[in-house]
Amino acid sequence: MSGGSLVSIVDDDECIRESLPDLLRELGYSSRAFSSAEEFLASDTVQGTACLILDVAMPGMTGPELQRELRRRRIEVPIVFITAHQDETLRSRLLAEGAAECLFKPFSERALLDALRSTVGAA
Amino acid sequence: VVDALTRVVDGLPGLVWVARGDGRIEFLNRRWREYAGLDTDAPSQAAFAASIHPDDRSRWDERWRDATATNDPWELEVRLRRVDGVHLWFLCRASPLADADGRAVRWCGINTEIDDRHRTEYQLRTKESHFAAWVESFPGLMVTMDRSGTVELFSRELLEYFGRTREELRNWSITDVVHPDDLERVVTAFTQSVTTGTPYSIEHRCRRADGVYRWFQVRALAARGDREEITGWYVVLSDIDEVKRAEDALHRARSELAQVSRATSLSMLTASVAHEVSQPLSGILTNATTCMRYLDAEPPNVDAARETTRRTIRDGNRAAQVIARLRAMFSRSEFTLEAVDLNEAIRELVALSQGDLQRDRVSVRWALDESLPPITGDRVQLQQVVLNLLRNALDAMAGVDERRRQLVIGTARDASDRVRVSIGDTGVGFDGQPPERLFDAFYTTKPDGMGIGLSVSASIIERHHGRLSAMPNDGPGATFSFWLPVRPARDGAGAAALDLPTLAAERAPSP
């Protein structure tokens, strides 16, 4: 694990949890992946997270609900939403509600890097 | 002797008379005298003539001229005036008393009252002409035929419709206006009715005067006599062309609706599939990107690269499976019968809708009967029904926040040889709407709905000889369910063929 800023991933899709941390580490970030919002909230990673890559639709607590929960707890962390629903209305709403970015799956390395650089800066 | 004879003559049930050879009245019996109000049994010729109805006098005179010329017995029906001035019909019969040369020297006659019979005959004639007039002016196409099928009476509309003259119609056979494609059916039905006397009813096209064929319902009833023998036929031809056209249009609209529904389902499915494919695609892209980086490193991290490549292949297969399933669902558009494992078909559909279920935070409780027998049906159409019920259930729960959004998906073997599929939700229920209206086309309670889904679903299930119904739950929400008859599946070849794409994908060599 490299020593860059910690990027946490919350996604119920195993493909993402498996592949994204490897790529983030290659890009110079540290990374941890969680399969649900609840798991993330229960972990000791919440405070140290520099950026949260967050799936929108998940069983149990959804991405936007986690965003509200973090705000309620006064935890300021930039959020990059990722979603498999190519829905521009949803994207605009998420951005309007304070998301740093919203990427449609599948997204490119370039798009991911741009999003991370604009939130936490280069690794 | 004379007295006795007079009593007999006076007692005979008729008006008895005797005339001379030239027709001059010599004697009238008492009954006649009393009937006509004459005070003598030998009235003057003028007094006698006055008792004959003026309209009948010429016939009477003519008859006498003939009789005196031929000396043959004769009879004649005339009206005779009663004392009160009323004329009644009588049958007058006379026989000559001839001399040695065969000439009538006397005529003996008796008049029998036939007024009742005459009246009945008259009424009958009136009725007949009324009936003829009634048929003539019948507001529709009507024709009466005798026992053998020869045309007797017909309505004016019939005449005009077929553009025939009265003479042409007399020898008319309905078969020469029947559409050639319908002729065989018509002849069969007609022969059947004529030989057995059963009512005739058949729909076929008839050619109008202008050559245009229109649909008719032709019905005929046998007219029967005292001994139940067939005396003729009453035939009515009803123009049902509009109805027929409307039926055709309805049929077309139905299949168009099914098409629309298919397209709507397709667009919903496309979204689900896009979602399903996006997930493995994300994995593929990310893994491949990472792999490139491993290989570009100095020295290349081959072990890590191999691992990411393995994942890439696995995710690739996953995406291929989704597409194979999609292809299996949409490669055939016609109604095809095959053995369908409903549990499997439902699971597949729910897997494809997983994205929607997650987005709407709906959990699924399964209640599938694993021993469910396969049914014979069109797998894709049945899946469309389930998809439609699923979509409705999700829509019904969209606004529900105060309780769990749960789908209960069940299959069960119904009593007798039926299987039942049910989809329950914890949504808003029917909201006071009558459940039976739900299945009407274009009836919807959704602000953005077209209201065709349930109607098309119901028709699909009916086509499978099953039934779709809706029930409010005991708790919140509603349950839609349908039953289908279990029919002996053929040899299962259909089912095997259907599963091929999925199986092929699953059997692809693992990396």
Instruction: Choose among A18, A60, A86: nearest Cβ to B311.
Output: A18
**Residue-level pLDDT at A117:** 92
Question: B300 touching A, CB under 8 A?
Answer: no
Nearest CA in chain A to B276: A84
Inter-residue contact B467 to B474 (CB < 8 Å): no
Contact flag B358-A12 (C-beta cutoff 8 Å) = yes
pLDDT per 10-residue tile (average), chain A, 123 residues: 82 90 93 95 93 90 93 94 88 93 92 91 68
Q: Which residues contact B34 (CB under 8 A, 6 or more apart)?
A: B83
Angle at CA of residue B147, ends B142 and B150, nearest 5°: 55
Interface contact B316, partner A, CB < 8 A: no
A106 — contact with chain B (CB < 8 Å)?
Answer: yes
C-alpha angle B24/B25/B31, rounded to 5°?
Answer: 165
From the candidates B275, B289, B309, which should be mutated to test the interface with A, based on the most A CB atoms within 10 A? B289
Q: Model ipTM?
A: 0.86
Q: How many CB pairs under 8 A join A and B?
A: 79
Q: How far apart are CA A62 and CA A56, in angstroms?
A: 6
Contact residues, chain B, for A85 at CB < 8 Å: 271, 275, 355, 359
Question: How confident is the model at residue B492, as a pLDDT?
Answer: 39
Q: What is the Cα–Cα distance from B387 to B201, expressed in whole angstroms?
A: 44
pLDDT of residue B434: 59
Cβ–Cβ gap B274/A84 under 8 Å: yes
CA distance B401 to B384: 28
Helix ranges (H only) for B373-472 are 379-397, 453-463
How far apart are alpha carbons B449 and A48 in whole angstroms? 47
Across the interface, whether the CB atoms of B283 and A15 are under 8 A apart is answered yes
Q: Is any Cβ of chain A less than 8 angstroms from the Cβ of B444?
A: no
Residue positions counted in chain A: 123
Between the CA atoms of B143, B148, B152 and B157, what dihedral angle is there, to the nearest 10 degrees? 20
CB contact (8 A) between residue A13 and residue B279: yes
Question: What pLDDT is recorded for position B383?
Answer: 87
- DSSP assignment of B82-126 equals -TTS-EEEEEEEEEEEE-TTS-EEEEEEEEEE-HHHHHHHHHHHH
Nearby residues of B64 by Cβ (< 8 Å), 6 or more positions away: B23
Rg (CA), chain A: 13
Interface of B with A in 337-366 (CB under 8 A): 355, 358-359, 361, 363
What pTM value is reported for the model?
0.40
When the pLDDT of each residue in chain A is averaged and rounded to a whole number, the result is 91
What's at B183, amino acid-wise?
Answer: L
Q: Coil, helix or strand for B365?
A: strand
Which backbone phi and psi does A31 adopt, to 5 degrees?
Answer: -155, 145
Give residue-wise pLDDT tens across range B390-438. Answer: 888 888 888 888 888 999 999 999 877 899 999 999 988 776 665 655 6
**A62 CB near a chain B CB, below 8 Å?**
yes
d(CA B463, CA B381): 10
Neighbours of A4 (CB within 10 A): 18
User: Is B281 in Cβ contact with A26 (below 8 Å)?
Assistant: no
The radius of gyration of chain B's CA atoms, rounded to the nearest angstrom, is: 46
Chain B residues near residue A113 by CB distance under 8 angstroms: none
Per-residue pLDDT, B503: 29
User: Residue A86 and residue B274: Cβ atoms within 8 Å?
Assistant: yes
Residues of chain B with pLDDT under 50: 332, 441-452, 488-511
Give the model confidence (pLDDT) of B147-197 as tens digits.
Answer: 877 888 889 988 888 888 888 877 777 777 888 888 888 888 888 888 888
Does B271 contact chain A (CB < 8 Å)? Answer: yes
